[in-house]
Amino acid sequence: MIFLQLFYTFFKIGLFGFGGGYAMLSMIQGEVVTRYGWLTSSEFTDIVALSQMTPGPIGINSATYVGYSAIVHAGYSPVVGVLGSIIATFAVCFPSFVLMLLISKYFLKFQKHPTVESVFKGLRPAVVGLLAASALLLMNTANFGSPDESMLQVVVSILLFAGTFIASYIYKVNPILLIILCSAVGGIVYSI
């Protein structure tokens, strides 16, 4: 039963996940953590971090890790967990594959049609909303800390967030350099 739920869940996410992988994260969390309880919020945050570090799109990487973790948490062996990761990965990619085949066949013919242009204009705000929801999803105590536990972690997290935002948005600093600098700051501050 969990295999069908896994396929249906990630098929639905793949079908309605406009805006790319980061936009899918809030949908994945809503289904996997809130609706089905396959993972805790902390485990999901760890999966997001792993998905960002591994090569490939974050939405597909998250589906792979969630598929494996959900099956293993359901009591199956790790070998069967690999089947769960395959099912989730296939399910999240399949709608995009089919839609791209259909769109590529008809899009060039109808791209200047007023209805098609209207649909794309309507999708833009939805994509921005999904990306904002993903950003808010990652602003939790697992990433920023809690003032009750460590005020230093909260202050450092906010300063790193603000500094990174300013450096990337205003000064156009390379994101890879920002990741290296933030990891160095975190290593220094938290090793003290």
How far apart CA 2 and CA 67 sit, in angstroms, is 10
Whole-model pTM? Answer: 0.61
| Cα 169 → chain centroid | 21
Question: In the chain, count of helices (H) and strands (E)?
Answer: 9, 0
pLDDT tens profile 58-85: 888 999 999 999 999 999 999 999 999 9
Length of the chain: 192
> What pLDDT score does 162 carry?
92
Q: What's the whole-number mean pLDDT along residues 32-48? A: 90
pLDDT tens profile 112-163: 888 888 988 888 898 888 888 877 877 888 777 888 888 888 888 889 989 9
